[in-house]
């Protein structure tokens, strides 16, 4: 009777004998995975293999952890990237001010170009390459 009830419920895979990780263990594993991926430069396949061998996880569960870890890494480094851009902009504006004060307008112009590159202002807008053309064929004396 118990086996009939368990057939319809979602949960552990059939044949699984490993205890489910607690939320704390999952968070510790994700933190460990971040440092492992960053320090050892593990690829997706290497990480899946690591999860299977060390934690006895299925490929599907390992994939879920990979996606979660990858999102956390992207989030962390996007914030650091913004901080670096802000720091560079501050230095560029400072150099620009010094160039203007000295009357070195060529350097000031180059600095403005660098600032526009850093902010992405020099990127051309995406062009709409779709167009509608009409072709008219004229055969003979049509009026």
* pLDDT tens digits along 23-37: 888 888 888 888 888
Q: Percent of the chain, pLDDT > 70?
A: 78
What is the distance between the alpha carbons of residues 29 and 65, in angstroms, rounded to a whole number? 9
**Other Cβ atoms within 10 Å of 77 Cβ, number:** 12
What is the distance between the alpha carbons of residues 55 and 18, in angstroms, rounded to a whole number? 9
Whether 119 has a pLDDT exceeding 90, the answer reads no
Provide the pLDDT confidence category of residue 123 given band limits of 50, 70 and 90: low
Provide the pLDDT confidence category of residue 5 given band limits of 50, 70 and 90: very low
- Please indicate, yes or no, whether the overall pTM of this predicted structure exceeds 0.75: no
Q: Region 105-128: what's the mean pLDDT? A: 79
Q: Region 39-66: what's the mean pLDDT? A: 86
What is the distance between the alpha carbons of residues 28 and 15, in angstroms, rounded to a whole number? 26
Of the candidates 56, 3, 4, 65, the residue with the CA atom closest to the CA atom of residue 29: 65
């Amino acid at each position: 009777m118990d086996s009939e009830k368990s057939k319809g419920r979602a949960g552990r895979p059939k044949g699984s004998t490993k205890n489910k990780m607690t939320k704390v263990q999952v968070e510790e594993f994700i933190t460990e995975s971040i440092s492992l991926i960053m320090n050892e430069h593990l690829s997706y396949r290497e990480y899946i293999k690591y999860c299977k061998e060390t934690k006895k996880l299925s490929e599907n569960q390992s994939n879920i952890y990979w996606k979660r870890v990858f999102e956390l890494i992207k989030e962390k480094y996007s914030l650091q990237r913004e901080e670096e851009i802000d720091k560079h902009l501050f230095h560029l504006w400072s150099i620009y001010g010094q160039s203007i004060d000295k009357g070195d307008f060529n350097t000031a112009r180059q600095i403005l170009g660098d600032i526009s590159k850093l902010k992405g202002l020099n990127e051309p807008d995406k062009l709409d390459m779709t167009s509608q053309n009409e072709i008219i064929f004229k055969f003979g004396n049509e009026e």
